[in-house]
Amino acid sequence: MFKKINHIGIAVKNLGDALSVFQDTLGMTCSGIEEVEDQLVKVACLPVGESKIELLESTSPEGNIARFIEKKGEGIHHIAFEVGDLEGVIEDLKRKGVQLIDQKPRIGAGGIKIAFLHPKSTKGVLVELCEHKDQD
């Protein structure tokens, strides 16, 4: 069902500060910065092998990332797994009683379909599923 870890999302107060750590100090390369308006975040993407690090800065004090940092401080916010058929996986998890934040897919950074599971169902870890269809 899960193909690989697509990315790890890290909540940061300031993208510039975070990029100076991950890019300048750790030597990763930022492949782009994108604002996802409906999620109130700016996302910097840093590919690492087949996966990515996503640095997430809130664009509003009301945003999920701002509230996360207020409660827990900066750090790992979510893990995103790649799946083939997102609708199918969501239906399967619903049948198994998994609580979902998104009852159906929505569009995330990069224009791909995503859905979040509720951390209550996954041992406190916020899990994102993102659809990646194999090219044919």
> Which residues contact Zn ion by CB under 5 A?
9, 80, 128
Between residues 9 and 68, which has the closer beta carbon with respect to Zn ion? Answer: 9
Shortest reach from residue 126's CB to Zn ion, in Å: 9
User: CA 84 to CA 69: how far, in whole Å?
Assistant: 31
State the chain's maximal CA–CA distance in angstroms: 45
Nearest distance from residue 9's CB to Zn ion, in Å? Answer: 4
| CA dihedral over 47, 49, 51, 57, signed as positive or negative | negative
Q: Which residue is nearest to Zn ion (CB)?
A: 9
Q: Work out how close the CB of 130 gets to Zn ion at its nearest, in angstroms, rounded to a whole number.
A: 7
Strands in 13-74 per DSSP E: 32-36, 41-48, 51-58
128 vs 131 by CB, closer to Zn ion: 128
Of the pair 19, 65, the CB lying nearest Zn ion is at 65
Burial class (CB in 10 A: 0-12, 13-18, 19+), 43: buried
CB of 43 to Zn ion, least distance (A): 8
Return the number of the residue (97 or 124) whose C-beta is nearest Zn ion: 124
